[in-house]
Homo-oligomer: A and B are copies of this chain.
Amino acid sequence: MFNVFGHTTSPFGISAWQSSGSIYDWSIDMIMDSEDNADRTTRSELPDPSDDKEEKRVLSAALDSFRQYRRAAHYNITHLRRQSFYALPSAQVELLSSPALSLPKKFDAVDEAIDSNADIAEAILAIGLPSFGFGSQDESWKGHATPGDLDKARSTIRQLYRDWSAQGLPERHAAFSPILSALQQHLPETISSERHKHRVLVPGAGLGRLVFDICAAGYSVEGNEISYHQLLASNYILNCVSEPGQHRLYPWALNFSNHHTSSDQLQSVVIPDIHPAATLEAAAEQLKTKVPYSERMSMTAGDFCVLYRQIEYTEAFNAVATCFFIDTAPNVISYMETIRSCLKPGGLWINLGPLLWHFESAPTPADRDKQRGRTSNKYTHSHADENVGIGEPGSFELSNEEVIALVESLGFEIVEHRLAQPTGYIQDPESMLQNVYRPVFWVARRK
Instruction: Choose, from A45-53, A340-348, A434-442, the stretch at the interface.
Output: A434-442
Assess the A356–B399 pair: CB atoms within 8 A: no
Chain B residues with Cβ under 8 A from A259's Cβ? Answer: 355, 399-400
Residue of B nearest to A333 (CB): B92
A402 located at the interface, meaning its Cβ lies under 8 Å from any Cβ of chain B in the complex: yes
Partner among B83, B399, B432, B434 whose Cβ is within 8 Å of the Cβ of A261: B399
A393 to chain B, nearest CB (A): 4
A257 and B394: CB pair below 8 A? no
Q: Mark A49-79, 1 if CB is under 8 A from B, else 0.
A: 0000000000000000000000000001000
Known contacts A257-B327, A262-B402, A331-B92; is-contact A396 B85 (Cβ 8 Å): yes
Q: Is the CB of A95 within 8 A of B257?
A: no
Interface size class of A (residues with CB under 8 A): 35 or more
> In the complex the two chains form, is A96's CB within 8 Å of B396's CB?
yes
> Cβ of A401 and Cβ of B437 under 8 Å apart?
no
> What CA separation (Å) do A253 and B198 show in the bound complex?
43
A397 at the interface (CB under 8 A from B): yes
Bound-state Cα–Cα, A436 to B427, Å: 12
Least Cβ–Cβ distance between A337 and chain B, in angstroms = 10
- Decide if A81 touches B396 in the complex (CB within 8 Å): yes
Contact in complex: B432, A435 (CB < 8 Å) = no
Cβ of A384 within 8 Å of any chain B Cβ, yes or no, is no
Segment among A22-30, A98-106, A243-251 that sits at the interface with chain B: A98-106
Within 8 A of B (CB), among A377-407: 393-402, 405-406
Task: Give Cα distance in the complex from A408 to B356, angstroms.
Answer: 42
Q: Which of B355, B357, B364, B434 contacts A80 (CB 8 A)?
A: B364
Interface residues of A (CB under 8 A from B): 76, 80-81, 83-89, 92, 95-96, 98, 100-101, 103, 255-262, 264-265, 327, 331, 333, 354-357, 360, 363-364, 393-402, 405-406, 408-409, 422, 431-440
